[in-house]
Structure 1
Amino acid sequence: MTLRRFALLLPAAALLPRPARAHALVIGSEPASGARLAEAPREVVVRFNSRIDAARSQLLLAPRREAAGGTADERRLDLVSGGPDTELRATLPPLAPGPWRLRWQVLALDGHITRGDIPFTVGG
């Protein structure tokens, strides 16, 4: 390939799709998404694939409803500090048997906000 052709192709290469930058995505949680637990957990942990700004992130807990969006009985959980900068951890209040939804929203250090839900069920 001549230098001239290379110079013409170089700007076009800049337009090719690239992998997304490191948005914080869940790589694991306790309880796991969809878990059926015999008894309520004492705490929740959500692990991410990249560092997050815990001061600007949150965990919310609510009984799971079929309708999307927040509920009046949604409760913001107090985060436990001192853990790795790739996870959120919170102590849970006592939970009644039934379906629950842990909602998370995090700010990755790259400036991107991501959010999602982790559904789980307590009891039979």
Structure 2
Amino acid sequence: MSLRRHFGTFLVAAACTLASMSASAHAILTDSTPKLNGTLVAGHVDMMFKYNSKIDQHRSRIVLVKADKSETVLSIAANGSKPNELDTSADLTPGNYTIRWQALALDGHITRGDVPFTVVAKQ
């Protein structure tokens, strides 16, 4: 094979590698408590947001948005054994809420999303 052909093959392989690395760099939410449009019982609620990659827990953010649009920043629990999760908790009364999350993957890419859910009274 000629040098030109080897170089062309190298460029294609390098481009594919870079594309796959950048696509996998974004933290994608794979599981959560509460679930998207889910229902929880009022009281002290532990919340978990699991991603497909390691998360910088110190520079990520979780905000609780109430039905009246007021916002409360929730503390993220130190969770060294689960580097792909953001964990928090809150005391919730019945109503509609949204968790607005912002996750910073360790490579510096930020992703954001919302998880709306409902809290019902204890029975």
Structure number with higher strand proportion: 2
State the TM-score, normalizing by the size of structure 1.
0.78
Q: Give 1:12 deviation, angstroms.
A: 5.5
2:25 alignment partner in structure 1: 22
CA offset digits 1:6-62 (Å, max 9, x no partner): 23633652556823132111110011111123x136111101111111110111001
Aligned to 1:75: 72
Moved over 2 A (4+): 2-5, 7-12, 14-19
Count of paired positions: 115
Cα-Cα RMSD: 2.4
Percent sequence identity is 37
For 1:3-14, list aligned pairs within 5 A: 3=2, 6-7=5-6, 9-10=8-9, 13=12, 14=14
Kindly indicate which of the two structures has a greater share of residues assigned to helix: 2
Q: TM-score if structure 2 supplies the norm length?
A: 0.78
Contact 1:44 1:89 in 2 (8 A): yes
1:109 aligns with 2:71: no
Paired residue type of 2:79? G
Instruction: For structure 1, list consecutive stretches of 5 or more residues without a partner in the other structure.
Output: 66-70
Gaps of at least 5 residues in structure 2 are: none
Q: What amino acid is the match of 1:31?
A: P
